[in-house]
Structure 1
Amino acid sequence: MIGLIMFVSALILLLLGFPVAFVFGTVAVLFAALFPEIGLEVFSLLPFRIYGIMQNFTLMAVPLFIMMGLVLEKTKMAEELLESMGRLFGGIRGGLAVSIVVVGAILAAATGIVGASVVMMSLISLPIMIKHGYDSKLASGTIAASGTLGQIIPPSIVLIVLGDVMSVSVGDLFKAAVIPGLILVGLYIAYILTVAWLKPQSAPAIKSEKPGKEIVIDVFKSVIPPLLLIFAVLGSIFFGIASPTESAAVGVIGALLLSILNRSFSLEMLKYASLETVKLTSMIFMILIGATAFSLVFNEADGGDLVLEFFSEDIGDVWVFIFAAMAAIFILGFFVDFVEICFIVVPILVPIVEEFGIDPIWFAILIAMNLQASFLTPPFGFSLFYLKGAAGKLVKTGEIYKGVIPFIALQIIALVIIIVFPELVWVFVE
């Protein structure tokens, strides 16, 4: 029971707002010191674990993909893409919202940074949508949901972390996530078009003053650069030319070349991207080190064995375990970030997955789909904070919360589809 008390104690401290990395580390030290059967000598293994993290080739992709996204954030590529796509789809009811979903998917594959995508789309698209009579709930929900597509559409930081934690190929996870990501995009677009058909006043058509030929040329010019980068990064993985880490390095070089071609490159921009990469990477790895200390003590207290015994012997049903695991991750997503869930909850589930003989790649995709909802679920969904911060007085917080509820439901539907049809995960995986 010591392990379960540890887990609950850490969760309570997280809900109280204490820094994540220090919560895990502090709880681990306190429980090791308080219980002689564990003892502080358990931490003699910690330096070797940390050294293993430092040598982890897979995790090197994390700072590289972060830097790629930050460089692209400053190239103005996303702004041009949004404006041209908005003019292309704006002529149909709900077309502007559809264009945001399409751009969100392209940005997810090109950058994968949720905060940048949500803020940028909020600043550019939200005022236009509100001005042309879009329902504020539909507009805010579309932007928040589209900005979080980077959590499931590769290259995704979530998939890299899950690949490392679950000891599966990150390249295979990237391939496996393609169809689930497209299903989610399709569900978003279908919902928007349905709302526009049922309530035309909530998503009116917007006529463009530009001729159709010029709009198509603008779209072509704005879409080609990110698509080339996506092909360079994901294509090199899918065709077996490079590992995810190597393709991340290709992505950084590609993003820098695009910034030069777009005349947005500067030493100031490079300094900004480098410093922010160091900050974000340091945060993730500090959490990882704290989680490593926590897992050492948790396993020494037989917490993992207790959970394994409960599901494999006391319950013994694989579908009950899958339902319980998905429900627990979904509920935790209301209160804690995906990083903590990946580093603390997922390692507890891995032995049970092995015990039941569940395919780890399929299960990892289920977790990734589930974790995406954590960016939208009130009260602590990060996309909601990004959107409100960028929107200011354009929309109320209550409208944002109401707006994301249908998209959370769509994410649950997508998750159920992948559970019922697991073969969808294997379309691109050899």
Structure 2
Amino acid sequence: MAEWMPLVLFVTVGLVLLLGYPVALSLGGTALLMALIGEWFGLFDHAFLEALPNRLYGIMTNETLIAVPLFVFMGVMLERSRVAEKLLDTMAMLFGPLRGGLGISVTLVGMLLAASTGIVGATVVTMGLLSLPTMLKRNYSPSLAAGTICASGTLGQIIPPSIVLVLLGDVLSSAYQQAQLDMGIWSPKTVSVGDLFIGALIPGLLLVAAYIAYLIAIAIIRPNWVPAIPAAERLHGGSGLWLQVVQVLLPPLLLIVAVLGSILYGLATPTEAAGVGAVGAMLLAAFQRQLNPGTLREVVRQTAMVTSMVFLIFIGAAIFSLVFRGFHGDDLVTGFLTGLPGGTVSAVALVMLVMFLLGFILDFIEITFVVVPIVGPVLLTMGLDPVWLGVMIAINLQTSFLTPPFGFSLFYLRGVAPPQLDTVQIYQGVAPFIAIQLLMLGALALFPELATWLPHAVYQD
């Protein structure tokens, strides 16, 4: 009976989540209830739960996690400064003469917003409100238009500064230290958020390039799906258009350089860079004449709500993790993964498959806080590069925003889409982009240097 308790705990939490109860309370409450039952029957090692106060204190005093509210504040402030609206208008005029130009514009704006905000919901909703009606009016394929907006909005999951990379950095750092203890060694080295930011740059940009290549291929194969904007409806080119491009692009690019550049050149930690980004977002909003007491009050309120949600889930996941270990679930997972035929390759493939399937029903935060602490130490003891593993997980988690039926990007777009766009068309539109992300995941598995080369090059310099 004892060996089945970890599986019973995991299945019970999954069922409670599917019933619609809050994630944080489901994780913590179900775990504590199962621990009580296990203690009653003598199946639970309560020594693990005695570590809970120290674990919770460590979460609340973790300086790395200060980056979460700062990056959320930056993203919400930029969303209120109408940066996305001006970027979409300008990029549409720039690429309008091309078939598929609107789609390429949406993808590039999604990339820029990802590098300056990192908030998927705000990006998808903004682009859905601004771009989707225009794309449908220009006779774009409804499914392609919906898929492009949803996929571009999720780029904030992989292109830094990304909140998921901040959370993954903290979780993987703990997993890395646990792996070292399991191997009987100790080292002060950890997996920093900056490592993941640098490692995710090349895969993120390649993903953007793959999205654009897909749109170009559609323009060649199905030109009627992605018509160009008629010349009579476009602004005239020349110096006026290029001046507008510079004026619109320069402020967010300066903010991106300030945040990422300070990390790449070692001038600031990710947490300090998040502070720079928050101040820069306020200055940008002031430059756009969108900064006022009402806006600041609303931005602070939304930041507090998102941050509270993340930390409450983090606390619930910490309780779940300790109870899982109290039932010796970590030994069960270790024995299973290390005993697979094919060794490390099979273990990584299975974990990635499980995370992909969980993405159909769970959000990336739950997967990060529940699954990664369980499988991370086991995979890292197999000798995997922690930065490569983190980027692999981040790209995999990105698909959780696109996979039906519970992909959050699909919900965001459905909420702002016109009635004539069916939910089935949204599902059809995201399918090719899910395939592209899986191909990117395969390429990263075959060529780990895509994630590891840049961090090594930066630190060698």
What TM-score results when the alignment is normalised by the length of structure 1? 0.98
Aligned with residue 406 of structure 2, among 377, 380, 383: 380
Aligned with residue 176 of structure 1, among 165, 184, 199: 199
Residue equivalent to 1:105 = 111
Residue equivalent to 1:5 = 8
Residue equivalent to 1:342 = 368
Q: 1:94-114: per-residue Cα shift (whole Å, max 9, x none)?
A: 011001000000000000010
Aligned with residue 59 of structure 1, among 47, 61, 65: 65
Residue equivalent to 2:150 = 144
Instruction: Report the Cα offset of residue 316 of structure 1.
Output: 6.1
What is the letter of the counterpart of residue 50 of structure 1? L
What is the letter of the counterpart of residue 332 of structure 1? L
Higher deviation after alignment, 371-380 or 24-33: 24-33
Asked if structure 1 preserves the Cα contact closer than 8 Å seen for 2:72 and 2:303, the reply is: yes
Residue equivalent to 1:30 = 33
Residue equivalent to 1:200 = 223
Residue equivalent to 2:264 = 238
User: How far apart, in 2, do the equivalents of 1:13 and 1:240 lie?
Assistant: 44
User: How far apart, in 1, do the equivalents of 2:111 and 2:136 lie?
Assistant: 22
- Superposed structure 1 runs of 4+ greater than 4 Å apart: 39-42
Structure-to-structure mapping, 1:113-124, within 5 angstroms: 113-124=119-130
Please state if 1:17 is matched with 2:20.
Answer: yes
1:314 to 1:421, Cα distance in 2 relative to 1, 3 A: closer
Please state if 1:327 is matched with 2:353.
Answer: yes
Residue equivalent to 2:180 = none
Asked if structure 2 preserves the Cα contact closer than 8 Å seen for 1:68 and 1:255, the reply is: yes
Higher deviation after alignment, 15-24 or 59-68: 15-24
User: How far apart, in 2, do the equivalents of 1:54 and 1:400 lie?
Assistant: 39
Please state if 1:71 is matched with 2:77.
Answer: yes
Asked if structure 2 preserves the Cα contact closer than 8 Å seen for 1:33 and 1:39, the reply is: no
Instruction: Report the Cα offset of residue 392 of structure 1.
Output: 3.0
Structure-to-structure mapping, 1:23-422, within 5 angstroms: 23-36=26-39, 37-38=43-44, 42-167=48-173, 168-206=191-229, 207=231, 208-213=233-238, 214-315=240-341, 317-422=343-448
What is the letter of the counterpart of residue 410 of structure 1? I
User: How far apart, in 1, do the equivalents of 2:346 and 2:340 lie?
Assistant: 11
Instruction: Report the Cα offset of residue 287 of structure 1.
Output: 0.6
Asked if structure 2 preserves the Cα contact closer than 8 Å seen for 1:122 and 1:387, the reply is: yes
Instruction: Report the Cα offset of residue 302 of structure 1.
Output: 0.4
Q: 1:225-256: per-residue Cα shift (whole Å, max 9, x none)?
A: 00000000000000000000000000000000
What is the letter of the counterpart of residue 15 of structure 1? L
Asked if structure 1 preserves the Cα contact closer than 8 Å seen for 2:139 and 2:226, the reply is: yes
Instruction: Report the Cα offset of residue 92 of structure 1.
Output: 0.5
Q: Which runs of 5+ in 1 are unaligned?
A: none
Q: 1:313-333: per-residue Cα shift (whole Å, max 9, x none)?
A: 354611100110110000000
Q: 1:308-364: per-residue Cα shift (whole Å, max 9, x none)?
A: 011113546111001101100000000000001000100111121122111111011
1:42 to 1:175, Cα distance in 2 relative to 1, 3 A: closer
Instruction: Report the Cα offset of residue 124 of structure 1.
Output: 0.6
Instruction: Report the Cα offset of residue 171 of structure 1.
Output: 0.3
Residue equivalent to 1:428 = 454
Task: Look up the SS of the partner of 1:416 in the other structure.
Answer: helix
Instruction: Report the Cα offset of residue 82 of structure 1.
Output: 0.5
- Number of residue pairs the alignment of both structures matches: 430
Q: Which runs of 5+ in 2 are unaligned?
A: 174-190, 457-461
1:406 to 1:314, Cα distance in 2 relative to 1, 3 A: closer
Instruction: Report the Cα offset of residue 66 of structure 1.
Output: 0.2
Asked if structure 1 preserves the Cα contact closer than 8 Å seen for 2:172 and 2:386, the reply is: yes
User: How far apart, in 1, do the equivalents of 2:237 and 2:264 lie?
Assistant: 35
Instruction: Report the Cα offset of residue 30 of structure 1.
Output: 1.1
Residue equivalent to 2:185 = none
Instruction: Report the Cα offset of residue 257 of structure 1.
Output: 0.5
Asked if structure 2 preserves the Cα contact closer than 8 Å seen for 1:29 and 1:40, the reply is: no
Instruction: Report the Cα offset of residue 394 of structure 1.
Output: 4.1
What TM-score results when the alignment is normalised by the length of structure 2? 0.92
User: How far apart, in 2, do the equivalents of 1:388 and 1:316 lie?
Assistant: 42
1:41 to 1:312, Cα distance in 2 relative to 1, 3 A: closer
Asked if structure 1 preserves the Cα contact closer than 8 Å seen for 2:45 and 2:327, the reply is: no
Higher deviation after alignment, 5-14 or 131-140: 5-14
Q: 1:125-184: per-residue Cα shift (whole Å, max 9, x none)?
A: 111111111000110000000000000000001111110001011101000000100111
Higher deviation after alignment, 26-35 or 141-150: 26-35
Higher deviation after alignment, 371-380 or 350-359: 350-359
User: How far apart, in 2, do the equivalents of 1:103 and 1:419 lie?
Assistant: 28
Asked if structure 2 preserves the Cα contact closer than 8 Å seen for 1:188 and 1:407, the reply is: yes
User: How far apart, in 2, do the equivalents of 1:329 and 1:41 lie?
Assistant: 29
Higher deviation after alignment, 341-350 or 200-209: 200-209
User: How far apart, in 1, do the equivalents of 2:450 and 2:241 lie?
Assistant: 35
